[in-house]
Amino acid sequence: MINVVHVDNSGFFRKIMKIFLTDLGFFCESYDRGEDVLDAVEARKVSCVITGLELIDMSGEDLIKKLLFAAHPMTIIAVTSSGDEARMQHLADLGVKATIQKGSDWKEKLREYL
């Protein structure tokens, strides 16, 4: 089973994302803090991290930068309510596989990258 970690400051969105990913057959852990994600990545092999850009303890961008130095490679996907094209390009330049806007079609877009 593929391990996916999702982090977002919205408890409601974490719950919806966990249901969505579990229904697709993924093992999903959800967090609201970037430090918890870093601990999870260090403790076990995580295949994919899906992160929001506003977290409880750090920015999603700071988390992404720290994940780039993880011991094993993983897919990083950002899900955000922002439509800022410059920010999306910056995240792509950092190594984020995709930046997906929250909206009515986020599930279909995310499914393309998993």
Q: Which of 65, 48, 52 is nearest to 100 (CA)?
A: 52
What pLDDT digit, counting tens, does each position of 79-102 carry? Answer: 988 777 888 888 888 889 999 988
CA pair distance 24, 9, nearest whole angstrom: 23
Per-residue pLDDT band for 1 (boundaries 50, 70, 90) equals low
Helix (H, G, I), strand (E, B) or coil at 35: helix
| CATH number for the domain harbouring residue 32 | 3.40.50.2300
For residue 110, tell me if it sits in a domain: no
Number of domains in the chain: 1
Question: Helices 34-43 & 60-67, crossing angle to 10 degrees?
Answer: 20
- Could you tell me if residue 111 is inside a domain? no
- 64 in helix, strand or coil? helix
- The answer to whether position 7 is within a domain reads yes
User: Is 113 inside any structural domain?
Assistant: no
The per-residue pLDDT for 97 is 94
User: Where does residue 25 rank: exposed (0-12), middle (13-18), buried (19+ CB within 10 A)?
Assistant: exposed
CA–chain centroid gap for 35, Å, is 13
Identify whether 26 is part of a domain. yes
CA dist 24 → 18, 27, 37, 38, 114 (Å): 10, 9, 21, 24, 10
Q: What's the pTM value of the predicted model, to 2 decimals?
A: 0.91
In a domain, 109, yes or no: no
Domain interval for residue 31 = 3-104
Q: Is residue 47, in this structure, part of any structural domain at all?
A: yes
Whether 17 is covered by a domain: the verdict is: yes
